[in-house]
Structure 1
């Protein structure tokens, strides 16, 4: 059995505050192979970005309490020195941040910042770094890159800044790329162009990609596997097809129900998830989703409110994992949830 390129094991990221410990990520585990894309979805505050920041070592030097293992090509990123982490960050593992305007320094040109990311990991002249920067700007579709390389971030449009961030993230051909909401606040045309660009560059460099997003449409197009997070934990994991067609966790059902159907009745109401996400200072005992779950009455006794469900294989495959006490979630989904999401869909009997 081959060792996965990236392996996150029991990752915990806790933040001490005056009110108590904020458990932003609490026991997260997953693996990722080269050439594959993992989509991480969940509501704001579920721990998506915090866990990815831990992979880059961005919590070092802060009050965050980080434990577990993050194995990148057989190297534990949590135990190496700060200098070793700096050599890996940007070269072997890179990140496209959610807001490129705030991620880029306003006082330096776009080309200066991208070129610096290249020179940190290569012993080259400023001229050589500038040439490489222009090549990457051209590769990500920036028009007239030899001129725009001297522009400042505020002179770029939102889509162009996002492309510049992609150029910075990929200039060193990283083995692992983390894209945190790479299409946020962009119009749909630019979104499609950026997603196509990421897929093309992934094929070219054979990178492993983690894409963090709220958009299940992006997941459907980009991801090979999907990890659903809630209250700092993984509540469902599987291939994209499994998660989108046969989800087995009520929280995932809620995410799918909240997506508007562009081909359906224009007067139809969206089906929101009731309530609000729990405070990570004091998560509910048992299943963290139980206070919002409309199906908790189908579980006998008080299991949902007293016992944290384990992450176990679902009813269809061993690789599809779900954290839920429901005995037969697949049948409940097809009988109760699916008719609300897609009332015109006929589910064929697999027999």
Structure 2
């Protein structure tokens, strides 16, 4: 079994995911959406999970909330939240924890919220499910949370419907719903998607403020490495359903050791560069999780596979092993001298602002 990313000892880790596998049977075969994922998250800390679409980010987070229950998905492994294995709980026991101990901010608040009920009613319902409160008390709590997340005139807007809110306001309402029960773990799935940059900054500042207030652990799923550089304590890079690199944010963004991470960093535009400069995209497309490549799943797209002796990249799956520079830094790659390759060939292509921000 691979080494496990660890943000501390078992006693200090609020969330521990061990060998998580989420497989979907289909008429064409088995889709291994998440295949042997392990990580740790301490109380009050933030973990950023990055990777292309289809890498398994949202699927693994949905498994933490038990959202695959009642579907054809085959889920195995362990998900320990404050010492309790969520996968071993009954549906009713999981329902009691969902929204109270672990909550989620979904990627698209317009589709996540019911169009036929007011925003306030939906937030109040999330509170009443876990508290012995009447409608008046729950409404007052909803107004309080809307005010806390920055909704103007919350006592009036509480009776508006989701379509009457702007995109940024809907995202704030989703944050209010996610935090109304003071959960110990909050999962934010692309919380700034489709928002303009000013609103994005406001949402991220709000999340950080509320995290400090509630001492919540946060998993933030994103494609935006700038968001990771600003918010995350640690970063987990996923590809083809597996972790391919893990480390503290500063270490991973300044000294990454996995070519896929290099590709993500090189794809970030440099606003200080010449306007005629070109982005350096990752060639090819993400692999099919129905028939993933043999060996390293990234090898068909990797520009550095010829630097690995023999045919290891095509024949042997690399284990997630400690990197060469920092303690706790893990990478899944056969490349013998990643530091040398990174500094000579990759670093000149990376936007300096991103590294400085980390």
| TM-score bracket for the superposition, by shorter chain length | over 0.9
2:330 is aligned with 1:321: yes
2:53 is aligned with 1:44: yes
2:128 is aligned with 1:119: yes
Question: What residue in structure 1 maps to residue 5 of structure 2?
Answer: none
Counterpart Cα distance in 2 of 1:159 and 1:267: 33
Quote the offset at 1:342 in angstroms: 5.2
Q: TM-score, normalised by structure 1?
A: 0.97
Counterpart Cα distance in 2 of 1:258 and 1:112: 42
**Given the alignment, which residue of 122, 142, 148 partners 1:139?**
148
Question: What residue in structure 2 maps to residue 349 of structure 1?
Answer: none
Kindly report structure 1 stretches of 4+ aligned residues shifted beyond 6 Å: none
Counterpart Cα distance in 2 of 1:247 and 1:300: 21
Question: What residue in structure 1 maps to residue 89 of structure 2?
Answer: 80
2:316 is aligned with 1:284: no
Question: What residue in structure 2 maps to residue 191 of structure 1?
Answer: 200
* Secondary structure at the counterpart of residue 126 of structure 2: helix
**Given the alignment, which residue of 274, 278, 283 partners 1:269?**
278
Q: Which runs of 5+ in 2 are unaligned?
A: 1-8
* Secondary structure at the counterpart of residue 78 of structure 1: helix
* Secondary structure at the counterpart of residue 210 of structure 2: helix
2:69 is aligned with 1:60: yes
Question: What residue in structure 2 maps to residue 221 of structure 1?
Answer: 230
* Secondary structure at the counterpart of residue 15 of structure 1: strand
Aligned residues: 347
Quote the offset at 1:83 in angstroms: 0.7
Quote the offset at 1:343 in angstroms: 8.7
- 1:19-74 CA distance string (max 9 Å, x none): 00000000000000011000000000000000000000000000000000000011
* Secondary structure at the counterpart of residue 61 of structure 1: coil
Counterpart Cα distance in 2 of 1:227 and 1:38: 7
Q: 1:343 to 1:32 in 2, by over 3 A?
A: closer
The alignment's C-alpha RMSD in Å is 1.5
Q: Which runs of 5+ in 1 are unaligned?
A: 346-351
Counterpart Cα distance in 2 of 1:167 and 1:342: 35
Counterpart Cα distance in 2 of 1:143 and 1:78: 40
Question: What residue in structure 2 maps to residue 293 of structure 1?
Answer: 302
Q: 1:278 to 1:125 in 2, by over 3 A?
A: same
Counterpart Cα distance in 1 of 2:350 and 2:41: 31
2:20 is aligned with 1:11: yes
